[in-house]
Amino acid sequence: MLNILSGTQVKVLDRAYISSENIESWQLMERAANQFADWLVQNFPDFGREVIIFCGPGNNGGDGLAIARLISETYKCVMVVFFEESGKCSADYQTNWRRLPNSVSRIFWRDFQSETVQNPIVIDGIFGVGINRPVEGVFLEGIRIINRMIGDKIAIDVPSGIPADDCLKGEAVKADYTVTFQFPKLSLLFPEHAAFVGKMLLKDIGIPEQFLGGMSEGRLYVQYKDIPSMHRRFNQFSHKGDFGRVLLIGGKTGKVGSMVLAAKATLRTGSGLVFVSVPSSEKQILQISVPEAMVADNSELRDLSKYDAIGIGPGWGLEIDPDYFAEILRSVKRPVVIDADGLNLLAKYPRLFDFVPSGSILTPHLKEFERIVSGVACHRDRLEKAMEFARKHQIYIVLKGAYTSISCPDGSQYFNSSGNKFMATAGSGDVLTGVLSSFLGQGYHPKQAALCGVFHHGMAGDLAGAKKNRGLIASDIIESIPETFVQMKLQ
Ligand SMILES: NC(=O)C1=CN([C@@H]2O[C@H](COP(=O)(O)OP(=O)(O)OC[C@H]3O[C@@H](n4cnc5c(N)ncnc54)[C@H](OP(=O)(O)O)[C@@H]3O)[C@@H](O)[C@H]2O)[C@H](O)CC1
Ligand SMILES: [K+]
């Protein structure tokens, strides 16, 4: 897992690493520039295109100059647009300015005429994580020039104007791609910044994780390689009881499809026995749609202790008696998964939070979360509120969306890297409820269940999305769940 450090910590990290390795800071910059240049050459192989690199006065600009040198023999025409005379810029900027070959043209920003270039590759190296105030003056002009140009736009580390850890105030470069170094900067994961960041690419510049770990602020980025070791292993003597007995509650008339999806996802994630509680009018639909599931009648709801996990809320409706919900929560002696109308009921009757078992996993999307906490200013604020909430109630908050965040009662916060925009489709959340309930039922600790569940759900969405594109529906995600286990060689 990658630690997400704050922008101000990046300098501290660089210094610590540079002194321990006994290297010069420009050498670390060279690694970053090499990573960027390699990616560029591989992904933009039309070497006849003009490459225009905007370089601000700090090390982000220094990266830009190093990249200009590294690609100068590959691309026919490379141009650097600068804002300050080199003597006023950072030391590593100056080093790279001196090393620029003559083949790279250098032009002062005011003299640059964007109309004279046709479909260029535009590289934004005006500001990176060192930005400490809203941009104005010449740099704002530079950002506006980039945004007016037509071509592919690639930001170095962070789109200029966006603070590393906070929400944008003012203007910023609208990039098609952001190539960020070592770990994703927190603000690149905010939904408000999607139009500025474009597609995010993560490039390792070789600083070992233990260096970052020492400075950890408890925010971590979860990747594919982190997941297999988190899973429980089963052996050939495992029986269906070991894989868990899961109960799902929800699905009012007209919304029973949500229970169908959740039940199928629970089964596809490996649960041995799945019971579903739906209104009697809906039982038949459920039985026909998911023959592997069992319909729980009222007598089976009397003793909730016999279930290894319970998922509550998809399609439940807001008409549910809050005392009935409180009764369920009170009588369950273990963590539950709460989604959709379960969350809306909690928002409507906040006293119910007192009964939510500790370790439970709540899975709001942004709107559902705002109904619970109200008054959210921006994603940074949302993340802080999720963290406070998780701590206060000793629960896990899975805030759904791109880079779903998982806020834990121990103060840690994880960001998921799998998934795609095609998953923003009806029923996708019901599938997640099923996946999470299944892992809880298989005996996973709620934190593992949340991390694995969110990752597998996103990965199944990626596998399905590769074939179905925008035609992806929630059932496609379910059908791809088994492949996630196959690819990870999990048994
Ligand atoms: N480990 C890594 O990830 C590495 C990253 N590298 C790259 O370095 C940048 C960060 O470089 P840094 O020099 O710290 O910062 P910037 O280039 O973003 O900013 C430069 C200076 O600009 C000034 N500043 C800040 N905000 C503004 C503003 N709104 N208007 C004008 N000027 C501004 C500020 O100085 P002040 O004294 O004026 O406050 C900044 O110092 C990182 O993003 C990567 O691209 C390295 O290559 C090495 C490894
Ligand atoms: K930048």
| Tens-digit pLDDT profile for residues 338-396 | 999 999 999 999 999 999 999 999 999 999 999 999 889 899 999 999 999 999 999 99
- Name the residue with the closest Cα to ligand 1, atom 28: 135
Alpha-carbon distance of 417 to 483, in angstroms, equals 18
Phi, psi of 229 (to 5 degrees): -70, -15
pLDDT tens profile 261-300: 999 999 999 999 999 999 999 999 999 999 999 998 767 7
Query: pLDDT at position 456, please?
Result: 98
Give the number of whichever ligand sits closest to the CA of residue 4. Answer: 1
What is the predicted pLDDT for the residue at 452? 98
Per cent of the chain over pLDDT 70 is 100
Q: Is 60 annotated as a binding residue?
A: yes
Cα distance between residue 408 and residue 425, in whole Å: 26
Give the helix/strand (H/E) hosting 64. Answer: helix 59-71
- Report which bound ligand comes closest to the CA of 153: 2
Q: Which two tokens stand for residue 391?
A: 């701590």
The annotation status of 129 as a binding-site residue, yes or no, is yes
pTM equals 0.95
Residue 307 Cα to ligand 2 midpoint, Å, equals 52
Q: Please give the number of the atom of ligand 1 that sits closest to the Cα of 29.
A: 47
pLDDT at 162: 97
83 lines ligand 1 (CB under 6 A): no
Q: Where are the alpha helices (DSSP H) in 80-200?
A: 91-98, 137-148, 194-197
Q: What domains are defined for the chain?
A: 2-216 (3.40.50.10260), 228-487 (3.40.1190.20)
Computed over its alpha carbons, how large is the radius of gyration of the chain?
Answer: 25
DSSP-derived 3-state class of residue 234: coil
| Ligand 1 atom having least distance to the Cα of 181 | 3
pLDDT on residue 242 = 77
For ligand 1, atom 32, name the residue with the nearest CA.
131
- The owner of tokens 């941009």 is 135
Pairwise CA distance, residues 423 & 17, whole Å = 39
Is residue 404 marked as binding?
yes
The yes-or-no verdict on residue 303 having pLDDT over 90 is no
Q: Which two tokens stand for residue 215?
A: 């400075």
Cα separation, 253 vs 247, whole angstroms? 19
CA distance 47 to 266: 50
User: Which residue is associated with the tokens 């795609």?
Assistant: 420
Q: What's the 438 CA to ligand 1 centre distance in angstroms?
A: 46
Report the C-alpha gap between 387 and 117 in whole angstroms: 48
User: Quick one: pLDDT band at residue 301, thresholds 50, 70, 90?
Assistant: confident
Question: For residue 454, what is the enclosing H or E element?
Answer: helix 446-468
Ligand 2 center from residue 61 Cα (angstroms): 8
Ligand nearest to the CA of 172: 2
CA–chain centroid gap for 302, Å, is 39
